[in-house]
Amino acid sequence: MKKIITFALLLISVSAIAGGRNDQVKYPEGYQDSFTHYNTQNRANNKQIADMYANEIAINSVKSGTLAEGSIIVMEIHKPEVDDSGAPIVGDDGLFIKKKFAAVAVMEKRSDWGADYAADERAGDWGFALYDTKGMPKKNNLDCATCHTPLTSTNFMFTFPKLKRM
């Protein structure tokens, strides 16, 4: 029985870490009113559309070509409307037509994460977390850090060029 409990706890911890750390990267309450919306785009997975928001620290510091500690980026993830074949329907603007608000991904930049948030779970000083649309931790099997880590020239962000235009 002890082995089963230990194995279950291991699976839970691996699952939580895979898509980020909700215990480290908190949901930014009220971000839609206090952050700046800076981009909407179809996601690279070709199955979602995302709205991007940045806090004031990110907006003010991006002008220097980097993002300061305390920067927070929020990505609202929406499922698109699909046609009979399951392909996303594209609007006149080239973006998928939003159907359902699905999740909120959060990136936070800090240098003081502590020993329990290992460097290989982050991308540089960026930590990650995923939440449902009500701000509750959402289970997922994504590995955010793996995709963001190679993006050193863009501050570990896919949308850094869009943010710089603010």
Domain holding 83: CATH number?
A: 3.50.70.20
Q: Tell me how many degrees the CA angle 80-92-166 measures, rounded to the nearest 5.
A: 85
Give the domain range for residue 95: 2-164
pTM: 0.86
Please state the domain count of the chain.
1
Q: Which residue did the predictor score with more confidence, 17 or 142?
A: 142
Decide if 80 contacts 99 (C-beta within 8 A). yes
Continuous H helices in 19-158: 31-34, 56-61, 144-148
* pLDDT at residue 5 greater than cutoff 50: no
Q: pLDDT grade, residue 6 (50/70/90)? A: very low
Q: Residue 45 pLDDT > 90, yes or no?
A: no
pLDDT in tens, 91-135: 999 999 999 999 999 999 999 999 999 998 999 999 999 999 999
34-to-27, 52, 61, 119 alpha-carbon distances in Å: 13, 13, 16, 29
